[in-house]
Chain A
């Protein structure tokens, strides 16, 4: 039997139309590469379209649309569908069997075997930027058309022979699975099955069974190593019959890439040992790419092989077999990115502190969380960090913009805004959503973390933070204080103007003390502070509550106050206040003959001012509160050097 080959196409499992590239190298045009990229590892962000047109250097030159593929990324998943009209292979065998016709010509019988890969479906899931797992299903059709002579009877004894085609088909899906893993910036590995399983294959006769596509099970290993820059050494090895090795190199400028790859190949059924070279050059940018690739075989491809050899070896794959000819391809890829490319991502987020709603002002300029973020961009970028605390914010709150150098890692502070109307009494755990945005509305990366939101009266025990309780109720306090002062209007009008703050403070205290009783904190195990309106309505409070309330009453009428934190020992802490009389030391005698009852502080301009310590738990009267406050202050802050030792601290409310 003599064999004539009419080869219309070629294809191979591990043989990409676009050459042998590093799968993790951005800028390569990989969308049509289900053959050698079983795990479907694709680098685009949204839609990908690829079109390959090629020609084979046969006589005459044949050209065809080889493949069309469409891919779409959904989050971490990528789906690919590929239509391969050019992936087919036909063998026509002329049979020596035949008959001599009336005109002495010889009628020969033919067999025609047609193999096609019609379409493919692929799926990949990216567990991380470095690891993806995927599979591909490829649909093949095989048709075996064998001619025979069929006797046709004319009457009882007369027969004529007519050629008749006997056709059998066997279509099937072939499935494989693989993964792609970038160990580091230099080394990428891929492992995949070859011919893992096939489904839906029809039964065919024993005669044709020996011609079906051979599907020896095996594995495919692929490694790419980048020793320097964007140049990569690539190796692909099939356990069944083949390997390829070569290099690929890219030069990038702005958002565009120019690349070149060359690989040599071996197939155990082809000669010589290295039977050919594949090569590809490409240009690509973020939107599109074009590549020109080709295959050059080293041996004579016009050779006619005996049928017995075909019968013995069969055909392992459609892509790269001993019957293939040199060819060239032009591949055009388009990437449509409706999803913004991720230029920055979170490495971690640390919550600095629990949320205390009463300190709402503090969170505007003190970060409640720090995010460690990394730039994925090659350019300097500006990141807009924002956060949303469940139950606190109705929308994302933006923090200051941060500029990050290419590939740099920085710490980003997150601030928030808490409404002063927040009034939940109980603490709760909430989720904080963090976002990083480069441009537009869609964030590049998200992160989430739990956070404790304390009740509105909760306090962290730092006296410096009592000022937030003072400030919050200034409106209420102003009403209270003005009411008191309006009753003392005649008295206030008759005193020296310079004494007005002192007397205002005195009158307000007298009225305040009249109504209030010292009571210890009802929640002894937790830090709980009343707002001024609560202290006045409840008619009582502990030292924190009373200092907060009196300070607020004074501040509301323009009298400066400071909290005095007596840190003490053994967890015994006390708070009282100082207020500014606005008197100079020379005027001190207008209010006291005893110079141990006041304290001189300089204002922002360096002017000396008389401040008076008030013990707010001494609710007998103003003078008693002053004397008690002065004694404590003089002893602990001055005499015992408490201010110098840090045991006593003065905290200005403003």
Chain B
């Protein structure tokens, strides 16, 4: 048993630390290396550290090779190198549980003292001229979807969840939500899929999307009842 555990730990470390290199590039492809702030154009053959994010412009693509797997990042998409990996359903369930945990509001400690050191109370309502993140979030969703289409369905779901957390506006795009909910369904995670479809209620959607969601939920309902 000890040997098996050791093997599993070693194997998982290998998966996480596998090197990734860029096999081919079409158009403009940039990467953010590790925690670096800057985006830099990348060239074919370059090796990417594990925490690098690769993004493609319109009409651009990159083929990334990681171990024995090959993944093509198509146009207008972004993906973190570490998301290009096969995950077990157990790991997916853990990741989903973690998302639930992170999405739960923190408990407020009533004993916390309020800081009275506020620089200009009137400025509190100040509006920031923030740069919209939604565009990059959409690229992340594209990247996640492409992961799913390339067979990395578990990773795709995890990447999508992370994107929704960091770019909340992207949650309103119903087509992507339906796609990732269907991935959950395909993985046999009916309860998770049902919960996901159920959360779409308040989103704007077409009649066709409504019908699709409704029929999916009916089907899931039956499956859950017969479970």
Tell me which residues across on chain A come within 8 A of B97, comparing CB atoms: 644
Choose one: A497, A598, A608; the contact of B123 (CB below 8 Å): A497
Proximity bits, A625-653, B CB within 8 Å = 1, else 0? 01100110011001111011100000010
Tell me which residues across on chain A come within 8 A of B95, comparing CB atoms: 641, 644
Tell me which residues across on chain B come within 8 A of A603, comparing CB atoms: 105-106
Known: A497-B120, A602-B105. A590 touches B131 (CB 8 A): yes
Q: How far is the CB of A614 from chain B (nearest CB, A)?
A: 13
Bound complex: CA A640 to CA B15 (Å): 11
Is A589 a contact of B131 with CB atoms below 8 Å? yes
Within 8 A of A (CB), among B64-101: 80, 82, 91, 94-95, 97-98, 101
Q: How far is the CB of A583 from chain B (nearest CB, A)?
A: 8
Asked if B206 lies at the interface with its beta carbon under 8 angstroms from chain A, I say: no
Is B128 a contact of A600 with CB atoms below 8 Å? no
Tell me which residues across on chain A come within 8 A of B221, comparing CB atoms: none
Choose one: A592, A604, A635, A638; the contact of B106 (CB below 8 Å): A604
Known: A596-B51, A602-B106, A635-B51. A492 touches B119 (CB 8 A): yes
Asked if B207 lies at the interface with its beta carbon under 8 angstroms from chain A, I say: no
Choose one: A499, A590, A600, A605; the contact of B166 (CB below 8 Å): A600
Bound complex: CA A635 to CA B94 (Å): 15
Q: How far is the CB of A649 from chain B (nearest CB, A)?
A: 11
Bound complex: CA A600 to CA B94 (Å): 18
Asked if B112 lies at the interface with its beta carbon under 8 angstroms from chain A, I say: yes
Known: A585-B168, A639-B82. A601 touches B130 (CB 8 A): no
Bound complex: CA A644 to CA B95 (Å): 7
Is B102 a contact of A600 with CB atoms below 8 Å? yes
Bound complex: CA A497 to CA B98 (Å): 32
Proximity bits, B154-175, A CB within 8 Å = 1, else 0? 0000000010011111000000
Bound complex: CA A590 to CA B131 (Å): 7
Choose one: B39, B82, B115, B165; the contact of A600 (CB below 8 Å): B165
Q: How far is the CB of B85 from chain A (nearest CB, A)?
A: 10
Is A592 a contact of B82 with CB atoms below 8 Å? no
Within 8 A of B (CB), among A590-621: 590, 592-598, 600-606, 608
Is A643 a contact of B165 with CB atoms below 8 Å? no
Counting chain B residues whose Cβ lies within 8 A of the other chain, the interface size class is: 35 or more
Asked if A500 lies at the interface with its beta carbon under 8 angstroms from chain B, I say: yes
Tell me which residues across on chain B come within 8 A of A604, comparing CB atoms: 105-108
Asked if A557 lies at the interface with its beta carbon under 8 angstroms from chain B, I say: yes
Is A558 a contact of B35 with CB atoms below 8 Å? no
Q: How far is the CB of A593 from chain B (nearest CB, A)?
A: 5
Is A557 a contact of B115 with CB atoms below 8 Å? yes
Is B130 a contact of A587 with CB atoms below 8 Å? yes
Proximity bits, B109-126, A CB within 8 Å = 1, else 0? 101101111111001101
Asked if B104 lies at the interface with its beta carbon under 8 angstroms from chain A, I say: yes
Choose one: A492, A589, A597, A631; the contact of B130 (CB below 8 Å): A589
Bound complex: CA A626 to CA B140 (Å): 23
Choose one: B39, B91, B118, B165; the contact of A593 (CB below 8 Å): B39
Known: A602-B104, A603-B105. A592 touches B126 (CB 8 A): no
Is A641 a contact of B91 with CB atoms below 8 Å? yes
Closest A-chain residue to B109, C-beta based? A654
Q: How far is the CB of A40 from chain B (nearest CB, A)?
A: 58
Q: How far is the CB of B34 from chain A (nearest CB, A)?
A: 7
Known: A482-B117, A585-B133, A596-B51. A590 touches B105 (CB 8 A): no
Is A638 a contact of B162 with CB atoms below 8 Å? yes
Bound complex: CA A193 to CA B91 (Å): 81
Is B124 a contact of A601 with CB atoms below 8 Å? no
Choose one: A605, A639, A641; the contact of B94 (CB below 8 Å): A641
Tell me which residues across on chain A come within 8 A of B32, comparing CB atoms: 593-594
Bound complex: CA A654 to CA B106 (Å): 11
Q: How far is the CB of A431 from chain B (nearest CB, A)?
A: 31
Is B109 a contact of A652 with CB atoms below 8 Å? yes
Asked if B146 lies at the interface with its beta carbon under 8 angstroms from chain A, I say: no
Max count, chain A CB within 10 A of own CB: residue among B35, B94, B95: B35
Choose one: A492, A498, A557, A641; the contact of B126 (CB below 8 Å): A498
Proximity bits, A341-355, B CB within 8 Å = 1, else 0? 000000000000000
Bound complex: CA A588 to CA B163 (Å): 13
Tell me which residues across on chain A come within 8 A of B38, comparing CB atoms: 593
Tell me which residues across on chain B come within 8 A of A638, comparing CB atoms: 98, 162
Proximity bits, B26-61, A CB within 8 Å = 1, else 0? 000000101111110000000000110100000000
Closest A-chain residue to B121, C-beta based? A497
Tell me which residues across on chain A come within 8 A of B12, comparing CB atoms: 640
Asked if A312 lies at the interface with its beta carbon under 8 angstroms from chain B, I say: no
Max count, chain B CB within 10 A of own CB: residue among A587, A594, A601: A594
Bound complex: CA A558 to CA B112 (Å): 10
Asked if B136 lies at the interface with its beta carbon under 8 angstroms from chain A, I say: yes
Tell me which residues across on chain A come within 8 A of B107, comparing CB atoms: 604
Bound complex: CA A593 to CA B38 (Å): 7
A-B CB proximity, top 5 nearest: A558-B115, A644-B98, A497-B123, A604-B108, A654-B112
A-B contact pairs, 27 of them (CB 8 A): A497-B119, A497-B123, A500-B119, A558-B115, A558-B118, A585-B133, A585-B167, A586-B132, A588-B133, A589-B130, A593-B39, A594-B37, A595-B140, A597-B35, A600-B165, A602-B103, A603-B105, A603-B106, A631-B51, A635-B16, A639-B82, A640-B16, A643-B98, A643-B101, A644-B95, A644-B97, A654-B109
Interface residues of B (CB under 8 A from A): 12, 16, 32, 34-39, 50-51, 53, 80, 82, 91, 94-95, 97-98, 101-109, 111-112, 114-120, 123-124, 126, 128, 130-133, 136, 140, 162, 165-169
